[in-house]
Structure 1
Amino acid sequence: MNSMKDNDTPSNDFFRLLVEHVNDWIWQINEQWEFTYSNSIVEETLGYSANELLGKSMFSFIKINEVESVQAIVLSAMENNSSLQNLDFTMIHRNGHEVFIETNANPIIDNQNNTIGYRGINRDITLWKKNQDRQQQLLDIIEASPDLIATADSFGNTTYLNPSARAFLGIPEGIEELHSVNAQLWTNKIVDINENELSAEKSIWRGENTLSNSMGKEIPVSQIIVTHKANNQNIHFLSTIARDISERKAYEKIIKRQALYDTLTELPNRRHLYKTISRLMDSKDKEKTFALLFIDIDDFKQINDTLGHKYGDRALKLIAARMKGSVRENDFLCRLGGDEFILLVEGMNTKQEVEDYAKRLISIFNHPLRMDNKLHSITCSIGISIYPDHGKDIETLMQNADKIMYHMKKQGKNGFQITQTNGG
């Protein structure tokens, strides 16, 4: 096998072979900008053979709307005998698609110190350019996003905050000491995350969280936290995206309230009543008992018929407010519908205690309602059933209280009765 001695000078064939086997496009042009040499890699880059390029102007392969600007740069460089460094432009492949090129070239200078051409290297940066463009597009989206987007290193030092995150946290634009902002500022989950909360493949935590904004106000957010791992599975850096869900939470709260509360009187409604009774009946305390008072306003239909439903609604609101102000704080008062109300009373161990409570409730109607400077006398009838004596399920307990209440009405109204028989 032949070997080159230290004092041997490489032959032209050696250099030509070397040039033909590099991955970059090596070329030469004359002062008319015509190709006088090209290695064969150009066929992979532009689809033309090296021979097809010879004698043709380099500008005939450059995207037409870039020709003028590239010509100006090359002409200026020739006049100043200067190199072309990291010059980017677009060339057109034989098949018509665009190829992004980065060129570096040195001038060929004659004896009169004039540039008569260039020798250079073109590198196909199409994939890099597309990746750069894609990254820039993503960055533009991230920068414009209303969501809080941030990254931090493995020590929890913040490395990036988008404008929305800066505004949320009160971090000035352009702050140089960004890494001094601890990531716990934009997620209080960092110290809570454990392996059970993270996807084994992607190391992602997602859920609802609460962050404090620059004014110290706690804001509910929907958040994703990603732990990006290196090959050794150690955390390389963290990223997050968080969306303010204050409006959604407020809307959910309204919807939940509408589902459980009467819109006219703002008392709990029938659905809330059933949930509460179920909770009381499901108590693990087997000795737990409570009274259900079924309250019906006497002759309320006359108010609607004589004064109209507008006054009827006003009367119901006044009645509800009066009763609400008279019951104990831990008792449950609701509007069942129309002029019917239910009161659940816990913690009364004797029948006498329940009767005394009912008398006091009836007494609040001794004073007439005032509407438009007119007084309207109101009374009520109350039927009482006690769990579990008068029913061990909701329907039986309600039916017994309803039944004894109507029995009270037949006896003259404006009073109360307790169920006498076991309806269970």
Structure 2
Amino acid sequence: MLFFNTNRAAHEILIVDDTPQHALELMELVSEYGAVFFSESAADAFKLLDQSLPDLILLDIDMPDMDGLQMCRLMKQDPRYRDIPVIFITGHDEPELELFSLEVGGIDFIQKPFNPKVCKLRVKNQLQLHEQQKLIEQSKDQLKALVEQVPVHITYWDENWNNLYSNGYFPEWGKSANSSLYIDNLLPIELSQQIKLRGQSGIDQNFTVQLQVNGEEFFYQVFQSHNVDPHYTNSHLITIIDITQENQAKRSLFFEKERLRVTLNSIGDAVIATDNNGLVTFMNTIAERMVGWRLRDAIGLKVERVMKLQDSNTKQELSNPLYLALKEQRIVSLVLNSEIVSKSGSCYAIEDSAAPIRNEKGEVIGGIMVFHDVSNAMALANRMSHVASHDSLTDLPNRISLQESLVLACQTSIDTKHKVAVLLIDIDHFKYLNDSLGHQYGDELICLMAQRLTGLLPENCTLSRVGGDEFVVLVSGVEDIQEIKSLASSLLLAMHEQFKLAEQFYSISISMGVSLYPDDATNSEQLMRHADVAMYRAKQEGRNRYNFFSSEQEVALLQRNQLEKQLREALKNHQIELFYQPKFCLDTNEIIGVEALARMFDKEGNVIPPSQFIGLAEETGLILALGNQVLEKACKAAKQWFDLGYAIPISVNVAAAQFSGDGLAQNVESVLLKYQLPPNLLELEITETSLMENVDNTQNKLVKLKRVGVNISIDDFGTGYSSLAYLKKFDIDVMKIDMSFVADMLENKHDYEIVKTIISLGLSMELELIAEGVEEEAQKLALLELGCKAGQGYLFSKPLPFNDFMNLLTN
């Protein structure tokens, strides 16, 4: 079988290899140097030699029938072929084989796998050497010229190691060829000493020398032949080849392989490699641990035997994705819920991918699987999923989980024709208990409540915690509303048993709102919202009860939502207006101050009573924004009056949420600075209840406010639960007598005595007294008689818009 290059060149190369793939690779590499012939056996090669003598033979050592060494030996015994140079092709790297190959007549080696640069260089060198040998027969001068062109250092020495011939010099040595030089003077001393020492044996030698030249490391292959010229006894032919690049390439390959081995054994993923038939060729240490096989025992086994896969749920055996990757020549991932069963029977949940391995031609030569243990990750994911859907304190389903259950229950009820009930439970006065005992015991109460409720619920109920002290009971498959009433009643009754907290027993009550699907709602969100409305109504009706949602509550809910929307828009657009109710001196009827009162209007311009939107603002958290707008507009108005010559103090009501916050004093100071209003013209009216919620905190806040320079008034005094022991410590300027006492003080003896006591208390504390709700002249006279000098009410003026108050002020 003959292969030749159509680009005919001066050289002819014969490749003898029983592997066509290797022969094709060599032919592609060396075709540029001449015509290439190819034979698959030694017998066919000898037939080709009879037809034409090639310039070079690339001979595979491992061949059937007759190996490369036998063929080379026969060639060297035949005068017709003995001068044909032979480069052996081998995948072996044993020094003995190399030596034996040279002994039978080989002149060089090409290692498998082929290094293109090294391979081409070796072929090129040998072709040039052979060409030189042919030319020697024609002319000695031509031979010398050709030899000097060979990139191999060729030297000839007499028995005393004087140089007889050298084909050139090695620039890195810095020494020129000179026949008169002794070997120690021409070659590096390390090299010359080895050559002389080996020359004493009288046999040909082939060895490698490592030299340091000018700080650089070089490697040389030395071929030493003894007594090659009959005219010189004990003469020596020394051939020196620079194999530095080849050696560096081998070392780089070794280091790369070692680095790859260390890397694969260091990574956290398991790696298994196979050939095209799925037979294991490699496993790293992680893979060994997971499959329970040692690499030495697994090599050559089918991958499915070493790496047994099964479905984690059904335990059915799974096909290894490696085969699909090899078949379709693409990356393939393992199916979900897969686990590996080790040799010992242990199971690991895994994620993996399989991919084909390709050679330099892109051909698939095997496959590789990379996988890792995700057992802990899956457990963590399950835990995270549980955490995301359950309350951290009670481990009950949270709002997210409840919403999913609600949607499913509502969908199921459509098919079963049964109802779904939601019971929204709220602990009465929980904030008071939580603040008085501390949050630790408040959390303990929540947990005890969850346990008690859970023990009372039937199987078709699910308990969730959706807020601080709010629980939801979801009841599915309701056939009769009476069972919901019974359940609600039993829950209320169960709360009569006291809870033990901090070694004391506490009585707790709950309020419940009940909503039914599809009676009260068309979807799960509406069902929850209506339960909230019903619970709110239960609290309004006195707490410790349950309330079913009704259409009337829906109307009230819509009205409330509409009012909230109007309030938000009014705050956003700064449409809250202030009315001003003057304060009068009861003796002279002079205006001595004014109270700013917030007013809101509907789209038709009608006044919305403060009693409707103030409470709503507190419930929705809008009271802070409302209070800030009232404060700013009041200061702005007072500044306008001040600039007109009227230094009238203006009082502003401070909501409990404003006073309990941290930024009240700073905010007040900022507004005063903005409008350049003297601080003594601003009075803050704080309810008695707000002052007494946290005495220590109240004292600190009052100190900060007094530092700003404003006056402090106790609003609605007598309606709360004041402690005089604490009250005397507060830095208060004004005490306002609530209108509920003033209104009936002339008809009701008790109210009169209360007013009298408040006035006496205020005078003893040297506080300014102002009576609210003065509507009759007789009330005015009675207040004066008791010692109260100031008041406000319809007897003098109702709250007025800005312009009307200006008219009153100027007149």
TM-score, scaled to structure 2: 0.42
Partner secondary structure for residue 266 of structure 1 = coil
Q: Which residue in the other structure is 2:280 paired with? A: 158
> What amino acid sits opposite 1:171 in the alignment?
W
Question: Deviation string for 1:72-124 (max 9, x for gaps)?
Answer: 8656544445665574758989xx9987x673624334789867452355555
Change (3 A) 1:273 1:92: farther
Q: Which residue in the other structure is 2:449 paired with? A: 319
Q: Are 1:269 and 2:391 matched, yes or no?
A: no
Question: Which has more helix, going by share of residues?
Answer: 2
Among 267, 289, 292, the alignment partner of 1:145 is 267
Q: Are 1:367 and 2:497 matched, yes or no?
A: yes
> What amino acid sits opposite 1:119 in the alignment?
T
Contact 1:385 1:400 in 2 (8 A): yes
Partner secondary structure for residue 264 of structure 1 = coil
Instruction: Between 228-237 and 213-222, report the one with greater CA deviation.
Output: 228-237
Among 457, 473, 496, the alignment partner of 1:343 is 473
Q: Which residue in the other structure is 1:357 paired with? A: 487
Q: Which residue in the other structure is 2:714 paired with? A: none
Change (3 A) 1:34 1:232: closer
Change (3 A) 1:149 1:359: same
Contact 2:329 2:355 in 1 (8 A): no
Q: Are 1:105 and 2:233 matched, yes or no?
A: no
Partners in 1 of 2:513 and 2:241 — Cα distance?
99
Contact 1:151 1:160 in 2 (8 A): yes
Contact 2:276 2:326 in 1 (8 A): no
Among 331, 335, 343, the alignment partner of 1:203 is 331
Contact 1:292 1:345 in 2 (8 A): yes
Partners in 1 of 2:548 and 2:187 — Cα distance?
101
Partners in 2 of 1:341 and 1:288 — Cα distance?
23
Contact 2:321 2:332 in 1 (8 A): no
> What amino acid sits opposite 1:256 in the alignment?
S
Instruction: Between 231-240 and 350-359, report the one with greater CA deviation.
Output: 231-240
Contact 1:400 1:419 in 2 (8 A): yes
Question: Deviation string for 1:212-243 (max 9, x for gaps)?
Answer: 45664433334221133689999642212223
Q: Which residue in the other structure is 1:297 paired with? A: 427
- Cα deviation for residue 294 of structure 1 reads 0.6
Partner secondary structure for residue 188 of structure 1 = strand
Change (3 A) 1:77 1:306: same
Contact 1:198 1:204 in 2 (8 A): no
Change (3 A) 1:310 1:288: same
> What amino acid sits opposite 1:257 in the alignment?
H
Contact 1:35 1:54 in 2 (8 A): no
Partner secondary structure for residue 551 of structure 2 = coil
> What amino acid sits opposite 1:383 in the alignment?
G
- Cα deviation for residue 290 of structure 1 reads 1.6
Once the two structures are superposed, the pairs formed by residues 190-269 of structure 1 within 5 Å of their partners are 191=319, 193=321, 202-205=330-333, 209-212=338-341, 216-228=345-357, 236-269=365-398
Instruction: Between 296-305 and 112-121, report the one with greater CA deviation.
Output: 112-121
- Cα deviation for residue 309 of structure 1 reads 1.3
| Number of residue equivalences | 406
Contact 1:204 1:227 in 2 (8 A): no
Contact 1:83 1:104 in 2 (8 A): no
- Cα deviation for residue 314 of structure 1 reads 0.5
Contact 2:291 2:340 in 1 (8 A): no
Q: Which residue in the other structure is 1:118 paired with? A: 238
Partner secondary structure for residue 371 of structure 2 = strand
Gaps of 5+ in 2: 1-51, 54-78, 84-130, 137-141, 311-317, 556-811
- Cα deviation for residue 338 of structure 1 reads 0.9
Change (3 A) 1:343 1:121: same
> What amino acid sits opposite 1:147 in the alignment?
D
Q: Which residue in the other structure is 2:635 paired with? A: none
Contact 1:151 1:161 in 2 (8 A): yes
Partners in 2 of 1:35 and 1:288 — Cα distance?
115
Gaps of 5+ in 1: none
Change (3 A) 1:8 1:60: closer
Change (3 A) 1:315 1:108: same
Q: Are 1:28 and 2:154 matched, yes or no?
A: yes
Once the two structures are superposed, the pairs formed by residues 403-414 of structure 1 within 5 Å of their partners are 403-414=533-544
- Cα deviation for residue 171 of structure 1 reads 2.9
Change (3 A) 1:282 1:90: farther
Partner secondary structure for residue 474 of structure 2 = strand
- Cα deviation for residue 372 of structure 1 reads 4.3
Change (3 A) 1:322 1:284: closer
Partner secondary structure for residue 389 of structure 1 = coil
Partner secondary structure for residue 325 of structure 1 = helix
Partners in 2 of 1:346 and 1:167 — Cα distance?
50
Partners in 2 of 1:210 and 1:192 — Cα distance?
11
Residue identity over aligned pairs, in percent, reads: 21
> What amino acid sits opposite 2:333 in the alignment?
W
Greater gyration radius: 2
Partners in 1 of 2:511 and 2:235 — Cα distance?
112
Contact 1:290 1:386 in 2 (8 A): yes
Question: Which has more strand, going by share of residues?
Answer: 1
Question: Deviation string for 1:34-67 (max 9, x for gaps)?
Answer: 895559xx9xxx9x69xx97459899999xxxx9
Once the two structures are superposed, the pairs formed by residues 278-297 of structure 1 within 5 Å of their partners are 278-281=407-410, 285-286=414-415, 287=417, 289-297=419-427
Partners in 2 of 1:156 and 1:207 — Cα distance?
19
Partners in 1 of 2:135 and 2:499 — Cα distance?
110
> What amino acid sits opposite 2:528 in the alignment?
M
> What amino acid sits opposite 1:399 in the alignment?
R
TM-score, scaled to structure 1: 0.74
Instruction: Between 314-323 and 406-415, report the one with greater CA deviation.
Output: 406-415
- Cα deviation for residue 138 of structure 1 reads 1.6
Partners in 1 of 2:252 and 2:271 — Cα distance?
24
> What amino acid sits opposite 1:272 in the alignment?
S
Change (3 A) 1:8 1:342: closer
Q: What is the CA RMSD across the aligned residues, in angstroms?
A: 4.9
> What amino acid sits opposite 1:139 in the alignment?
R
Question: Deviation string for 1:325-371 (max 9, x for gaps)?
Answer: 33345533211111101121111122123223333433443432223
Q: Which residue in the other structure is 1:175 paired with? A: 296
> What amino acid sits opposite 2:285 in the alignment?
P
